[in-house]
Amino acid sequence: MKKTILLTVLVLNGLTSFAQSNDEKNIKLFYKKALTESKCYTWLEYLSNDIGSRLSGSPSAAAAIQYTKHQLETLGLDKVYLQEVMVPHWVRGEKEAAYILDNKIKTVVPICALGGSVATAKTGLTAEVVEVQGIDELKTLGDKVKGKIVFFNRPMNPENIETFTSYGACVDQRFAGAKEAAKFGAVGTIVRSMNLRLDDFPHTGAQSYGDLPKEQYIPTAAISTNGAELLSKSLKVNPALKFYFKQSCETLPDVLSYNVIGELTGTVTPENIIVVGGHLDSWDLADGSHDDGAGVVQSMEVVRILKNLNYKPKNTIRAVLFMNEENGGKGGAKYEEVAKQNKENHILAVESDSGGFTPRGFSIQADDANFKKIQGFKDFFEPYLVHSFTIGHAGSDIDHLTSKTIVKAGLKPDSQRYFDYHHAANDKFDAINKRELELGAATMTSLIYLIDQTGIILPTAN
């Protein structure tokens, strides 16, 4: 008996090490193809420089849908199609204006309306300012903000190594600040940009009035970090100063738009689906090269590499370019709705929506068994300096996927520079490094390959 067991172990070991060596070779090939012949940088150049910003409902978002669909069609995938989705259509209108009015001296500061905000009166809005560090402090002030502009000025904490941690601890004042301030009778809100640097770029982003009646909506805008510092200092000297801003944004009727999908159909269990995606929409202030042009072209690159290598996936592998992540999430929700209708079985969803920087690892949403399984892949990634596999949020678009057996993984690039560009006018193609972008695509390809080969661990039936 002992002998038999020993033999089995040896054979298994032999098989394992053969398989590993083969996987290592394939992964090496993915990186090689990404670094030597990728199309993702060229695709992004076109998306950014020729099409430009791609806010949901805009003509350029429509152009991006046609462009990426066409590019996917050139790859020889098994299916390329559009998935209809109705999306909100918010427009900024003419460029905002703002100044600090301090003893009749006007100091112009850079602002931009937050996505979904209402306009000010055509003549603008002037009011005294109450500075707070967040919604909690606002609540302690209560009616004292009545008739005033609430200035949310909590900065992102520079001490965190992962900048997304600092973003997560701050973004409530942008997303819900106006709604909360309106409840106490504030007439507008100004929010410090979610940016760790001191500079002159205002950073837009989604905000929501929640259940507030429409007549209570108040205009809300982001101010650059330098502008926020100046306003705060000026308020310390003269708490009675006023702030003026004018914006003419509005929400138009919803628009028909699309998710773009390219598919390599599975050859063994085609009913099991692996998704890799990013979001095709961007904010309107720049090209959205990092957010999320990068994720879009990396996802396209994943299927390009696999197809180019004539890889026959066991499971169906889909690149999904989601529409409307930024201000509604309608694309992600629609994808899940259709998946449910079709009773599709998603086993893995990978999203890249943290910028096109050097990949460091994955942020994983999975049960213990599958998390350990993915951690077990660490050695495969070590030669590529991909080292960080942690439990955490994987991606906004794939958040919508609710299958019980699904494993989700968000590509985790180096995060130091992300908020320099996020939702601001400098998120442009020149902020992209070709190799960093390509390494991200290869890293996603490798994880998808490993899961396609070995499957996920299904929960034990009770």
Catalytically active residues, by annotation: 325
Stretch that binds a copy of itself, among 230-238, 312-320, 403-411, 413-421 (CB under 8 A): 413-421
Stretch that binds a copy of itself, among 71-79, 391-399, 403-411, 434-442 (CB under 8 A): 434-442
Name the minimum Å distance from CB 245 to a copy of itself: 29
Beta strands 79-91; 250-264: pairing state: antiparallel
CB atoms inside a 10 Å sphere around CB 94: 10
Choose, by CB under 8 A, the member of 165, 232, 265, 433 that binds a copy of itself: 433
How far is the C-alpha of 259 from the C-alpha of 419, rounded, in Å? Answer: 26
Count of chain residues binding a copy of itself (CB under 8 A): 27
436 counts as binding a copy of itself under rule CB under 8 A: yes
Name the minimum Å distance from CB 152 to a copy of itself: 21
281 counts as binding a copy of itself under rule CB under 8 A: no
Encoded one letter per residue, x for contact with a copy of itself by CB under 8 A and - for no contact, window 161-180 reads xxx-----------------
Stretch that binds a copy of itself, among 3-11, 309-317, 333-341, 379-387 (CB under 8 A): 379-387
Stretch that binds a copy of itself, among 10-18, 214-222, 290-298, 430-438 (CB under 8 A): 430-438
Name the minimum Å distance from CB 443 to a copy of itself: 11
Question: Which residues is 89 bridged to in the sheet?
Answer: 252
158 counts as binding a copy of itself under rule CB under 8 A: yes
387 counts as binding a copy of itself under rule CB under 8 A: yes
Residue (165 or 265) nearer to a copy of itself, CB:
165
Helices 294-308 and 2-37 pack at an angle, to 10 degrees, of 120
How far is the C-alpha of 148 from the C-alpha of 186, rounded, in Å? Answer: 5
**Contact between 249 and 204 (Cβ < 8 Å):** no
Stretch that binds a copy of itself, among 131-139, 159-167, 250-258, 343-351 (CB under 8 A): 159-167
Choose, by CB under 8 A, the member of 31, 90, 201, 209 that binds a copy of itself: 31
Name the minimum Å distance from CB 390 to a copy of itself: 11
Buried b (16+ CB within 10 A) or exposed e, 187-202: bbbbbbbbbbeebebb
Question: Which residues is 244 bridged to in the sheet?
Answer: 99, 126
Burial class (CB in 10 A: 0-12, 13-18, 19+), 382: exposed
Name the minimum Å distance from CB 399 to a copy of itself: 25
Name the minimum Å distance from CB 195 to a copy of itself: 12
Between residue 301 and residue 340, which ones bind a copy of itself under the rule CB under 8 A?
none
Helices 2-37 and 434-454 pack at an angle, to 10 degrees, of 150
Fill in the amino acid letter for 217: Y
420 counts as binding a copy of itself under rule CB under 8 A: yes
C-alpha separations of 73 from 80, 262, 266, 293 in Å = 6, 8, 18, 18
- For binding to a copy of itself (CB under 8 A), which residues are involved? 31-32, 35-36, 158-159, 161-163, 196-197, 358, 360, 383-385, 387-388, 414, 416-417, 420, 433-436, 439
